[in-house]
Every structure is written in C-alpha cells, then in structure tokens.
Structure 1
C-alpha cells in the first residue's frame, strides 16, 4: 500500500478512531506489565513453581522485549508499520492463548517468550505511526492519550488479575489479553493508514542475536546462581559468555555505519546519567513488583484480588507524580527533581526494609505510597532529560537506546533481587524435622513452604517461612534503597540542571519518544 502523506491523514476525520486502535494495543501491554505479578503466588502453588521458575516466567517476557524492540521497529519502517503492528498483536494474542492452555511451568515460560516477541513489535510501532496521523498541533495530545492508556493498565492489571484468580483458573490472566488484542487487530486493519520509511537502517541479524544471547546468558546465571552456587562451572561459564557476547555487541555497534544501538549517544553526559537514573528506577520497580505480591498473599493472607487492591498506593503515587513532574521540572530544573525523586525513593525503600512479620498492611501502604511518588518524580524527568540532552536528529535512536536499557534494567532487577530473596529465604527457613524431599520443596518459595506446612500441620514452619520471607524482602528493599541513594548522589553531581519542557510545548518528536517510553513501562 502506498505511503500516506501526513497532511492527507491529518484531514482524515478517522484519525481519532485510529488513535483508539493504538490505545487498545497499549492498554493490552499495560495490563500485561503487572497482571502476572499478582498471579505468580497462585501459579507457584498450583504449578509447583520455584522462585527461580517464577523469575523466568516474569523475565522471559522482558528479555525478549528488550532484545527485539529495536529490530522490530526497523521491520515496521521497512515493511509497513500497520502490517507489522497487526503481526505483533497477532503474536501477542497467540502467546496469550498458549499461556492460558499451558499445563506446566515450562509452557508458561514459552508462552511468555512468545508474548514478549509480540510486545516488542507493538510498543515501538504503536508510537511510530503517530507522526503520520497527527500534526505538531495535535501530536502532544495524542501522545498524552496513549501514555494515559498504558499508565491505566498498570494499576488495573493487579486488580483485574486478582478478580480473575478469585473467580476462574490461573490461565484467565492470559486469556483476558485475547479480546483486547483482537479489538486492537481489527481497529488497526480498518482504521490505520499504512506508513513506512524505506531509508531506515536494515535489521542487523547478528547484533540482534548477540543482544538476545548476551542478555539471556546473564539473566540465566543470576537466576540459577542461588541454587547452583556462584562458583558452579555452568554459572561461571554463563557469566563469561555474557560478558563476551555483550562486549562483541558493543564493538560491532561502534563499527557499523548506521547502528541499531547507537553507543556514541552515551558520550553525552546528560543522556548518560539520565539513562542510568531511569534504568535504576526500573531495576527497583520490577524487583518490588516481584517480591511484594507473595508478601501480601502468603504472609499477610490476602487473596489475589485483595493483593491487587493493596498495590494501588504505589501505582497511585506513581501516576500522580508522573503527571505532576513536568511543571515541577519547569520551575526547579531536571537535576533537582530527579535527585529529589531518587532520595524519596531511597527513603521509601529503607523505610520498607524495616517491615516485620507483625507490621501489618498499614505500614506497607505508607511506604508504598512514598515509593510511588519517588518513582514518578525520578523516572519521568530523567527520561525527558535524557532525550532533551541530544540533538534533534538523534532523538529517534536515543529513545530506542533508552527504552532498551530500561527493559534491561527491569530484567536484571527481577533476576538479581529475586535471586537475593530466594537465597536469603532458603538460608533462614527452619526445616528441622521435615523429610529431605519436603524440606527441599519448602525452600523453593514461601508459597511452597505454606503448602508443605499445611500438609504437615506445622504452625512452626508457617511462622519460619513468614519470618524468612520478610527478612529476605527487607534485604531486597535495603539494597534498593542504597542503590537509589548512590544514584541520587550521581545525579546531583553530574546531571545538567536544564528544564526539559520545551520539546513538549512544541510537540516535537523527542517529547513523543519520551512519553512513549514512559507509557512503555
């Protein structure tokens, strides 16, 4: 189909309906970002998933998403954005069906991998079609609508997921994606114009393979290390292999004339340190969303729906702060706001690390609310500042690198913080008197320990499991707090203190890319 010119589309009264198609797509991805977290404790109980397997269920999606996002965007540029967007939604739908029918952990992990492939196509392409739909005068509003849709998916994910788990089987958290994806496909087919950019760089198959293999090896080593030991030959080999593959990727991308990952962007101080800040925030957020649901369900005893509701203070704080961040940045500058946001995040994490078995939900809601505000006031201006530090003609490649590093931060957060939790829980769990097989099963996760305790009618094992899990969660939060504080010091020392709202006022592409990346979370 011929490329549709921007002016023609701007006069098309269907453009706002077309935006609705993109909103349906982004809402689907927003759901899937958080809906699985509240389901993991239930799935762990029914499928017998260890903490490591739960990490893989979460990380399989994120790794593929991060590794394939840039080449997926280039495929849309070359072969048609609408066509590849429909393909991405179709793949995401197929993965969701596959997950709903899965009978064991390995099939769930495979389904999440397929869904990650679909999401990698949907995310960049849903945003790249906006310039062909709207002119500068309308684009900022369109970007706001898309960002709001994706943000809405974050708090709705746990609530809808919890309600489904209370009324249906665990596969329903996958099946709920099917009608949303189907609506998105139909709307894209009938409402979106086809656009492409034949001049875009070609997909570099070798760089894509190096990215996926390097990330996969690194995450595998981090997740499996608590069980095998950091000195295990396989773990050492995986870490060494990851280092070689990622180094090869960097060297190759620096030599290529038109790289997919433009590493030279990291020479811009503002981009580098804002990217580090945004990536650290995603590291903390993904780790928190992994460790919190088992605490709320297994330790505090809430059902899945109640767990979803109890995550709302953090989501509410995040959304409110994200919306309020830009006016604050305009007045005080990005360095001050990012630094303050990181300090608030560090305070919240350190406060949360004081949680005990007897703390109750009131204390948790307090530090969760503060956490949300810290997230919002750090990640949004950091991402705006990263793109604002670049020349206008580098905004596209900069947003791609920024979104990719954010996803990598999420994957490593789940792997590293989840592994720290798993090893701490296993070391502190008292399995005295249990048969060897039952003791091994109890050490796999707090949910597994509760199941073993129920079968053995052991109140002592329940108490030990709760205590061990809360201790492990406190250690994770302590690490998050220290990391946020160190990043705050780096931000205060190295970030340029430049307001970054000028691009959003003009409706230029940097703002669109930034809002897109915000929505991508």
Structure 2
C-alpha cells in the first residue's frame, strides 16, 4: 500500500459520508409522519408527497445530473450539490405548511440526485482494479443503506427532544464535513467526449415520472374510480413510452440504451430495482405501525428499526465473503429468498403480535438487502465504461430511485385502499385520511373499539402491501438463477485500459488518483 492507495480509500470515506447523509434523509422523515399529520394538517396524500417529492426529484433529475457531471466535472457538481443539500435542509427545517415542506423536499431531492450518481461515477476512476472496485462498491452502498435505518433513530430522538423540523438540521454538519473531505480528497474527472444535452429527453423523463407518481398517489387518496388519477397515470405511462422512442432516435440521447445490450448491466439494474421496491414500501409503513399500533414514541420507533441495521450489516459482511464463492446468481437468489421470507412473515403480523416477531422479519429484510443490493449493483457497474461512468451509474441510480418513488406511491395506495375497506362504517373523515388521524380520534373520544378497528384496518393494509412485496421477490428468485452470471467476470480488455484512462479522464488533476 502506498500514499496514493491510502488517498483512494480516504476519498472513498468522503464519498461514503456524503452518501450516509443522503441515506439519512430518505428515511429521517418517516418517524415524523404522525407528527406532521397533526402539526401540518396533512392527510395520507400529503404524507405520501412528503416522502415521494424527495425520491421523485431524485429519479427525475439523476440522469441529466450524471450527464452534466460527465461534461463539466464530477467533483465540481458534487460540491455544489452538497451546498444545495445543506441549504434545502434549512428550508425544510423552518417550513410552516405542507406545501412549503414539499417544495423544500423537492430541492433536497435535486441536490441528492446530483450527489448519488456522481459519487458512484468516481468509483471506477478511483479503483480501476475489479477486486478493489467491488469492495469499494460494497462500502459505498452500505453507507447509503446504513443511513436508511439510522435516519428514523436520529429523527426519533430529535422529535422527542426538540421539534419535527430538527430532523433536517442533522444534515448541516454532515454536509460541512462531507464537503471538506470531498474538496480535499476526491480527484476531478469528466468525460473527454463532450456531447450536447438531450433537453427533450430530460423534459420527457421528468414529466413521465411526475405523471405516474401523481396518478398512483391520487388514486390512493381519492379511490380507484377517480378519473383525474387514471388520466395522470396513463398520461405518465404514455410520456414514458414517448421518451423511450425518442431515446432510440435522438442523436445524443439522455440514456445510452446500448448499455442494456449488455446482460450484466441489464439484469444487474433490474434486480437492483426489485430489491429497492420493497424496501421503500417498508420504510413508509413500519414506523407508522410502531407508533400507531404499538404506541411507541418517535425515538422508540427508530430504535425498533435497529434489527434492520443489524441485518443489513450482517448481510453485507456475509455477502462480501460469500460472493466470490457463490457468484452473483446464487447471491442475488439467496437475497431475494431472504427478502421474500422476511416480508412474508411481516404479512402474518396481527394486532396482538409481539414485537420480537416483528423484529425477526424486519431483521431478515435488512439481511436480504445487505446480501443482494451490493452484488446486483456491482454486476451492472462492472459493465460500465470509465468515460461514461456518470451517465451509466446515473441510469442505475435513477432506476433504483424510480423504483422507490413508484413503490411509495403504489404500495401506499394498496395500504390506503385496504385500510379504508376494512374501516367499514368508520370510513369517514378524518379517520379515513390516515391511521394517525384515526388513532387521534379514537383516543380523543376514549373509544377503545374504534381504536381497535382503526389499528386492525391499518395492519390489514400493511399485510397486503408486504404480501405484494414478498410475491415480487419470490417470483424473481428463479429469474435470477437463470439470467445472472454464475461467477463474477471482468472485461479483460477494459481492465487493461482503465489505468491509462485515468490519466485521460481529466488531464493532470486525475493523477491524484495514483
């Protein structure tokens, strides 16, 4: 090991810190949802938008962000995004209405949309060796994933001791530290092949995602017979189809559809999406279950997600050791099996279920994510070209965030639909708005039977949502065994060119890589 090698790993630490911040903000709001429902008078639709506006911006802006980083310099844009992330966090902190919070969350998502693909795009530059790059990818993913369950814990403690706006203040010191580390340690890099921006493609991708997401959320809020909801959903799907057609015909498309000709990239990205889908639905639901059904406070809700952190760490560590022996196909199949079992057990949760049972299936879900997500993303990353690292990694991340956005919208709709159906005669305002509103009404009137009915209806919706996730993972198991490589493979010709490509990425600045 030499100084340059040490610098590479320190740079990875800086990127991991930045990703931890993004991961925290994806879920730090989950424990605040019951508080926001009361303080900002937010119904289920607004609560979905608090979560979805962030992930929607992530998915919509990530592709152009990757292209801009390739063109103008990844380090420059990464530093700018960190500053914007800090400013948007302050705006969230002092929001006084649901609309203000949603708007600030959109800006926060835009900043995160730049941070995620560009930090990932630096990895092939920092680590040309496939073995080191696989380790670096595992660290990068784990840092983001750790932020997901840590967010509710930190957020819960802050809510219990301060006010809900304080959950966003934890981003500020993280951003300051991350910016200083990135500025000092991360080398500049860009794609020497300058391409015009695909402005029509950018507009179509944003409008398509917005239409699909809004459609699902409105259908969940107004019911499946709502015409505007169906119009938005079908319109979004139509725009997405036009986007794909445009990408095939554009001279300089936003998405390099040629990447999907590679089986590794195509299937690695697909299984990344599948694993992500259930995870976001879980984070939208479980904290509400802890608070509305188990009756714990915000901090207690976050602490009860610790089994997920344990599972994630164990799964990630175990996967790091098993992957060279088992290969990607068996590893992803194993991960999907664990996820299916965990969420299937979650679907068996009832009103009187003890917490230890919940801890088991939450922990299994974390273990499945730790086992599978790094492997699936590494399969896709190994097929990326260094010069197109920004666009390629942005595409993987955009698909992952799109899956998260649609998961919150679609699974939230499943939960809301079943919840209202099982309310029966109690399906009236404000009880029908959310389980938090229903619990508040029951407690204010002291009616134990209403409280039991509301909680039981919510568990019914949560169980239906978890069964959907479990079924998706179970169906994907044999597919993973069939389409993913049995053994890790690296492209020999690309490996030989990578060290030389480092010097060509951005001239003298890239010599800092070593």
TM surpasses 0.5: yes
Kindly report which structure 2 residues correspond to 1:199-210, keeping only aligned pairs within 5 A, or say none: 199-210=193-204
Matched residue, 1:365: 359
Tell me whether 1:459 sits opposite 2:448 in the alignment: yes
Matched residue, 1:70: 63
Kept in 2: contact 1:317–1:370 (CA 8 A)? yes
Q: TM-score of the superposition, structure 1-length normalised?
A: 0.87
Matched residue, 1:180: 174
Matched residue, 2:314: 320
Task: Return the match for 1:60 from 53, 62, 65.
Answer: 53
Tell me the distance in 1 between the aligned counterparts of 2:377 and 2:444: 50
Tell me whether 1:484 sits opposite 2:477 in the alignment: no
Tell me whether 1:123 sits opposite 2:116 in the alignment: yes
Kindly report which structure 2 residues correspond to 1:203-242, keeping only aligned pairs within 5 A, or say none: 203-242=197-236
Q: Secondary structure at the match of 1:491?
A: helix
Q: Secondary structure at the match of 1:300?
A: coil
Q: Which stretch of structure 1 is more off in the superposition, 450-459 or 381-390?
A: 381-390
Tell me the distance in 1 between the aligned counterparts of 2:26 and 2:497: 27
Matched residue, 2:484: 495
Matched residue, 1:428: 422
Tell me the distance in 2 between the aligned counterparts of 1:214 and 1:99: 26
Matched residue, 1:408: 402
Kept in 2: contact 1:61–1:116 (CA 8 A)? yes
Kindly report which structure 2 residues correspond to 1:30-69, keeping only aligned pairs within 5 A, or say none: 30-69=23-62
Matched residue, 1:306: 300
Q: TM-score of the superposition, structure 2-length normalised?
A: 0.88
Matched residue, 2:434: 445
CA deviation after TM superposition for structure 1 residue 20, in Å = 5.1
Judging changes above 3 Å, is the alpha-carbon distance between structure 1 residues 128 and 340 closer, same or farther for their aligned structure 2 residues?
Answer: closer
Judging changes above 3 Å, is the alpha-carbon distance between structure 1 residues 328 and 508 closer, same or farther for their aligned structure 2 residues?
Answer: farther
Matched residue, 1:470: 459
Tell me whether 1:91 sits opposite 2:84 in the alignment: yes
Unaligned 5+ segments in structure 1 are: 1-8, 510-521
Task: Return the match for 2:326 from 332, 343, 348.
Answer: 332
Judging changes above 3 Å, is the alpha-carbon distance between structure 1 residues 285 and 192 closer, same or farther for their aligned structure 2 residues?
Answer: closer
Judging changes above 3 Å, is the alpha-carbon distance between structure 1 residues 317 and 14 closer, same or farther for their aligned structure 2 residues?
Answer: closer
Q: Which stretch of structure 1 is more off in the superposition, 471-480 or 177-186?
A: 177-186
CA deviation after TM superposition for structure 1 residue 180, in Å = 1.6
Query: What is the root-mean-square deviation of aligned Cα atoms in Å?
Result: 2.9
CA deviation after TM superposition for structure 1 residue 46, in Å = 2.1
1:279-310, CA deviations, whole angstroms, 9 ceiling, x for partnerless residues? 11111000011110010111001111111111
Matched residue, 1:376: 370
CA deviation after TM superposition for structure 1 residue 182, in Å = 2.7
Tell me the distance in 2 between the aligned counterparts of 1:395 and 1:77: 8
Kept in 2: contact 1:74–1:202 (CA 8 A)? no
Tell me the distance in 1 between the aligned counterparts of 2:489 and 2:220: 43
CA deviation after TM superposition for structure 1 residue 87, in Å = 1.6
Tell me whether 1:80 sits opposite 2:64 in the alignment: no
Q: Secondary structure at the match of 1:443?
A: helix
Judging changes above 3 Å, is the alpha-carbon distance between structure 1 residues 120 and 359 closer, same or farther for their aligned structure 2 residues?
Answer: same
CA deviation after TM superposition for structure 1 residue 401, in Å = 2.3
Tell me the distance in 2 between the aligned counterparts of 1:383 and 1:359: 36
Tell me the distance in 2 between the aligned counterparts of 1:371 and 1:144: 18
CA deviation after TM superposition for structure 1 residue 274, in Å = 3.3
Matched residue, 2:511: none
CA deviation after TM superposition for structure 1 residue 258, in Å = 4.0
Q: Secondary structure at the match of 1:440?
A: coil
Tell me the distance in 2 between the aligned counterparts of 1:397 and 1:173: 32
Task: Return the match for 2:347 from 345, 353, 356.
Answer: 353
CA deviation after TM superposition for structure 1 residue 418, in Å = 0.7
CA deviation after TM superposition for structure 1 residue 380, in Å = 2.5
Say how many residue pairs are matched. Answer: 495
Matched residue, 2:337: 343
CA deviation after TM superposition for structure 1 residue 76, in Å = 2.4
Kept in 2: contact 1:10–1:134 (CA 8 A)? no
Unaligned 5+ segments in structure 2 are: 499-514
CA deviation after TM superposition for structure 1 residue 13, in Å = 8.3
Tell me the distance in 2 between the aligned counterparts of 1:139 and 1:273: 19
1:59-90, CA deviations, whole angstroms, 9 ceiling, x for partnerless residues? 11111111111211222233333322222112
Tell me whether 1:284 sits opposite 2:273 in the alignment: no
Kept in 2: contact 1:330–1:501 (CA 8 A)? no
